[in-house]
Structure 1
């Protein structure tokens, strides 16, 4: 049953936006590996199990002025013939082809996947450098990697099969691989949940010259044992965000709050929640991040299609625009495009 709300008028339709975080994927093989009844987070992805360029283009051209986007790794179309370490190169090659379609101009001025964030297993240590070089050779749009570290003690909140190894970011092997990013001027996207924010604080302090982007407002939680605890956990989350913001090499993505494990809203997919209600639900987290990092180190993101569970693409961006209503023109420019352009080297799309 489709519970999507009636379309809303687009707020500030002429405001340029770089969507700095979305995926393109086919999760059907992954979903087939999970027997029913599936984990709630896995089940939340069923509606978005197949998300193509055409689907993303339809979302990105549905009213808001999305001028460019950044693809972020999701294990899509790995090339197993390249071997275990190098198979993520296939994802960058695939996405570079999508970007070339957009750059051809046949779809107008929108530049999808103008930046590409791939994956390399940094726990390979110094040997990860060869993987990074292969990723960079696969596309001039390649900017850096994400090596997700999401892990919880509560398997009801996130599937154990998808969790990162315990202590990943603190391991000597991972940090040897992490050092290879700095040698090449590459970015790092960090995906963790709120109980793990101290791991990113420690990593950022250990590598003060490495550009790091904290994804999804630091991963607030609402599933499993975290259900109904947003209020009581908020101060701990806010304190960690403020501490992390003291690291000048870190920026934050404002989004990811429409995913099932966050429970803001508490039902989906595309639960028909309008932008005004979404803005109310998300305000404490978004405003805290902007206050801590400042507009020049914060960027709104769609995180589509995972956030499709809780919000339609037009309503999601309308909610962000409601949350930014008190910002100046320069602050809005930073939040919606400037910070993303600077962090991912996409200044040319703003020219």
Structure 2
């Protein structure tokens, strides 16, 4: 589809693939339909051809696969092994942000196995805690303070991997604390730090969190999943989030991402990148290139 605005190459630094029939993503089960509205739309295979169809015409030259919450009862390295079997000639899933639960007896050995794959450049931790237990991904609000959990961060540092977070606004202070405790580890906040509560006071608190996160030089952020958290998206509502992030982090530590296919629950790929291109049109060409391509290329060693 033709588009206006930035017309250079695009790297999508946050997407997922899965073989639904393999039944290794329990979060997609009907038991979660009421907790995460819309995920019933994701109950199908999403493979390389699926992503290419969704992104046609958007100048995607490479993408980064982020672990898709593989079954915790299975070896998380099996997701990486499966990704290795997929075609790589079209730029899809050129790098991986892999899974490895921290704070377990197998954390160190799993991290080392994951890091041995050339395409693995980072690992992701889900630390999203919400005051409503049904909306929480974890039960321990202060998981990141656990010394055993932090040993995983130390091993990540040793292996030279990025550390990504699926976090909610209540964990911003914890991520900043981690960033200062491990200044050699580049940390990447997913999904714009999840502006999930939409009241004026909530968004003001989220803006404060963004400023706190940006003050840590080794923290970067993905501008993604905005449609997930915005019930009535407009150019103006996207601009509020994008401008807040770019003003705080700068284009050197921020990047646009799709979160596909999860993002497809609410918006098409063309819709998402249409918002990105229109809002970013007021930025300099250099900043636009960084947000759409250069920052991701650098961080994910593409």
Normalized against structure 1, the TM-score is what? 0.79
Q: In structure 1, how many angstroms separate the alpha carbons of the residues matched to 2:241 and 2:88? A: 33
2:27 and 2:69 in contact (8 A); partners too: no
2:144 paired residue among 143, 165, 169: 169
Shift, 1:112, TM fit: 0.7
Aligned residue number for residue 47 of structure 1? 41
Counterpart of 2:65 in structure 1 is: 71
Distance 2:234 2:80 in 1: 33
Conserved in 1, the CA contact under 8 Å of 2:15 and 2:259? yes
Pair 1:199 & 2:193 matched: no
Matched, 1:16 2:2: no
| Structure 1 position 313, deviation (Å) | 0.4
Separation (CA, whole Å) in 2 of partners of 1:155 and 1:76: 21
Shift of residue 146, structure 1, vs aligned partner: 0.2
Superposition RMSD in Å? 2.2
1:298 aligned to which of 254, 266, 270: 254
Match of 2:115 among 124, 136, 149: 136
The alignment of Structure 1 onto Structure 2 pairs a total of residues equal to: 298
Q: Please say if 1:102 is aligned against 2:88.
A: yes
Name the structure 2 match of 1:113: 93
Return the offset for 1:33.
4.8
The residue that corresponds to 1:265 in the other structure is 231
Q: Which residue of 2 aligns with 1:220?
A: 195
Contact 2:108–2:152 at 8 Å: present in 1 too? yes
Whether the 8 Å CA contact 1:75–1:91 is kept in 2: the answer is no
Structure 1 residue 54: deviation in Å?
A: 1.7
3-state DSSP of counterpart to 1:176 = helix
Long gaps (5+) in structure 2: none
Q: Distance in 2 between matches of 1:250 and 1:333?
A: 20
User: C-alpha distance in 1, partners of 2:163/2:293?
Assistant: 19
Whether 1:250 and 2:250 are equivalent positions in the alignment is no
Q: CA deviation at 1:31?
A: 6.1
Q: 1:143 to 1:119 in 2, by over 3 A?
A: same
Counterpart CA distance in 2 for 1:341 and 1:180 is 24
Equivalent in the alignment of 2:79: 91
State the distance in 1 between where 2:121 and 2:166 align. 17
Contact 1:299 1:336 in 2 (8 A): yes
Alpha-carbon distance between aligned partners in 1 of 2:130 and 2:187, rounded to the nearest angstrom: 22
Aligned in 2, Cα 1:283/1:178: closer, same or farther, shift over 3 Å? same
Equivalent pair of 2:28/2:39 in contact (CA under 8 Å): no
Compute the displacement of 1:163 (Å): 2.9
| Residues in 1 aligned to 2:2 and 2:28: alpha-carbon distance in whole angstroms | 38
Q: Is the 8 A contact 2:115 2:159 kept in 1?
A: no
Identify which of 47, 53, 57 aligns with 1:58. Answer: 53
Q: Counterparts of 1:31 and 1:213 in 2: how far apart (Å)?
A: 23
The answer on whether the counterparts of 1:117 and 1:145 sit within 8 Å (CA) in structure 2 is yes
How far residue 76 of structure 1 moved from its aligned partner, in angstroms, is: 3.9
Query: Cα deviations across residues 1-29 of structure 1 (Å, max 9, x unaligned)?
Result: xxxxxxx7422474210000001124574
Greater C-alpha Rg = 1
